[in-house]
Amino acid sequence: MAVKIKSPREISIMREAGKILAEVHDQLKDILAPGISTWEINRKGDELIRKKKCIPSFLNYNDYPASICVSLNDEVVHAIPSKKHRLFEGDVVSIDIGVIYNGYHSDSARSYGIGKIDKETERLIRITKESFYKGIEHARAGNHLHDISAAIQDYVEENGFSVVRDLVGHGIGQSLHEDPQVPNFKQTGRGMKLRPGMTLAVEPMVNAGTWEVWILEDDWTVVTKDGANSAHYENTILITEGEPELLSINGGK
Task: Give the binding site for ligand MF3 (CB under 6 A).
Answer: 58, 61-62, 64, 69, 78, 96, 98, 107, 109, 170, 201, 234
- Give the chain's end-to-end CA distance (angstroms, integer): 30
Q: Which does 10 bind (CB under 5 to 8 A by kind): Co ion, ligand MF3, none?
A: none
Minimal distance, residue 129 CB to Co ion, in Å = 15
Q: In the complex with ligand MF3, which residue's Cβ is closer, 67 or 224?
A: 67
Q: How far apart are CA 170 and CA 224, in angstroms?
A: 22
- What is the DSSP pairing of strand 213-215 with strand 169-171? unpaired
Q: In the complex with ligand MF3, which residue's Cβ is closer, 58 or 155?
A: 58
Question: Does 21 sit near Co ion (CB under 5 A)?
Answer: no
Question: Is the separation of the CB atoms in 56 and 67 below 8 Å?
Answer: yes
Q: In the complex with Co ion, which residue's Cβ is closer, 78 or 85?
A: 78
Q: How many residues bind Co ion (CB under 5 A)?
A: 3
Q: How far apart are CA 38 and CA 93, in angstroms?
A: 9
CB burial of residue 45 (10 Å; 0-12, 13-18, 19+): buried
Q: How far apart are CA 173 and CA 100, in angstroms?
A: 9
Q: Which of residues 93-152 bind Co ion (CB under 5 A)?
A: 107
Q: In the complex with ligand MF3, which residue's Cβ is closer, 121 or 221?
A: 221
Residues forming the site for Co ion (CB under 5 A) = 107, 201, 203
